[in-house]
Amino acid sequence: MKIVVDGMGGDRGTSEVLKGVRLALDEMPEIEIVVVGKEEIIKKELSKHKYDEKRLTVVNADEVIEMTDEPVSAVKKKKNSSMNIALELVKNGEGDAFVSAGNTGALISASQLKLRRIKGVLRPAIATVFPAKGRNMVLMDVGATADTKPEFINQFAIIGSKFAEEILHRENPTVALLNIGSEDGKGNELTRGAHELMKENKDINFVGNIESRDMMFGKVDVVVTDGFTGNMVLKTSEGIAKYIFECLKEEIKNSFLAKIGVFFMMPALKRIKKKLDSSEYGGALFLGLNGISIKAHGNSDANGIKNAIRVAKEFTENRFVEKLKDMISSQEEKEC
């Protein structure tokens, strides 16, 4: 199995990406990794690490799509960028999956351009594993399709159910629509339309609307929404988690008794921090394409990159794209 990694993507730079690559090689002996980027920079950084050289290849790319670049024009103009070349490798079967912590908009644009949509998929969506009480869940779309139609969200529910079934091993996964109220008829024209379609959809186990405050209490397996709302929910949740831990640090620093108490609470606090740490979930998957494209968090540290590679490995082993194609194809046949 060969995972292709964007060596130039992410806020923390090539050094952090390659630390994550080394961790992945150490922990996943069954994979090979292709790092794409400016060869001179990558090889200089790699010289600082010990790794299995037989399982790592460097492919040169002269250009870099920066985090500040306008996504669509950058993808078109920078044809020799690490992102474009890496996705070309996956498209041509020279890699099984792609991982990047780079420009999200550019990754969406380049992935669609290179890998193309699965026949029958109305719009692709970005899905992520989201922490919840007792068990994790799937949240989608978190940024691929901001301007959405009810039929797109209805299909997101079908694809998200397949994700929960195959990757989270949920039997007959429950699906909810993110809305401003749990009652039928709530929301705007988009959510009311999506609700009607999902209520009639026999391919999902639809349980109705869910409010954002209830998402993390383990009530459902899949939550679907439009890409604009999903991205806002995701980033707000990350910000709240970070804020809570900053508050805890401040209180502990200012109180002698708190310092004593935290000594005994440390194991529990570490477990909570790990549960809420976005880097533990390995990034989001761009679903609905003829290939595996993983978006790691732009601020991913080495652990985040490693876990994004782990997600790529799991989806490749599961043959998720092939299973999704079969499912979409069978649904089209039923509708004919």
Can you spell out the DSSP letters for 77-112? H-TTBHHHHHHHHHHTTS-SEEEE-S-HHHHHHHHH
Residue among 323, 251, 321, 249 at smallest CA distance from 285: 321
pLDDT at residue 261 in the model? 79
Phi, psi of 5 (to 5 degrees): -120, 135
pLDDT (tens digit per residue) in 74-85 = 999 999 999 999
Distance CA 204, CA 159 (A): 10
pLDDT surpasses 70 at 10:
yes
Q: 226 Cβ partners below 8 Å, 6+ apart?
A: 141, 145, 146, 147, 148, 152, 153, 190
Q: Let me know: does 159 contact 125? Beta carbons within 8 Å.
A: yes
Q: Model confidence at 279, in pLDDT bands (50, 70, 90)?
A: low
Q: What average pLDDT does range 139-161 have in this prediction?
A: 94
248 versus 59: the higher-pLDDT residue is 59
Q: What average pLDDT does range 44-65 have in this prediction?
A: 93
pLDDT at residue 97 in the model? 97
Q: Which domains does the chain have, with CATH numbers?
A: 1-121+288-336 (3.40.718.10), 124-278 (3.40.718.10)
Q: Strand, coil or helix: what is 36?
A: strand
Partnered with residue 107 across adjacent β-strands are: none
179 versus 239: the higher-pLDDT residue is 179
Q: Strand, coil or helix: what is 187?
A: coil
Partnered with residue 36 across adjacent β-strands are: 6, 59
pLDDT at residue 60 in the model? 97
Residue 204: both structure tokens together: 């999902």
Rounded to the nearest integer, the mean pLDDT of the chain is 90
Partnered with residue 178 across adjacent β-strands are: 210
Q: What percent of the chain has pLDDT over 90?
A: 69
Q: Model confidence at 275, in pLDDT bands (50, 70, 90)?
A: low
Q: Let me know: does 221 contact 137? Beta carbons within 8 Å.
A: yes
Q: Strand, coil or helix: what is 129?
A: strand
Q: Let me know: does 3 contact 33? Beta carbons within 8 Å.
A: yes
Residue 253: both structure tokens together: 């620093």
pLDDT surpasses 60 at 311:
yes
pTM: 0.86
Q: In terms of C-beta density within 10 A (0-12 exposed, 13-18 middle, 19 or more buried), how is residue 311 classed?
A: buried
Tally the C-alpha atoms within 13 A of residue 294's C-alpha that lie toward its C-beta: 28
pLDDT at residue 333 in the model? 64
Partnered with residue 150 across adjacent β-strands are: none
For tokens 């008794």, name the residue: 257
Residue among 284, 304, 293, 322 at smallest CA distance from 109: 293
Name the DSSP class of 30: T
Q: Model confidence at 185, in pLDDT bands (50, 70, 90)?
A: confident
* Pairing relationship of beta strands 284-287 and 125-130 according to DSSP bridges: antiparallel
Q: Let me know: does 33 contact 25? Beta carbons within 8 Å.
A: yes
pLDDT at residue 273 in the model? 67
Angle 320-335/150-166 helices, nearest 10 degrees?
130
pLDDT at residue 277 in the model? 61
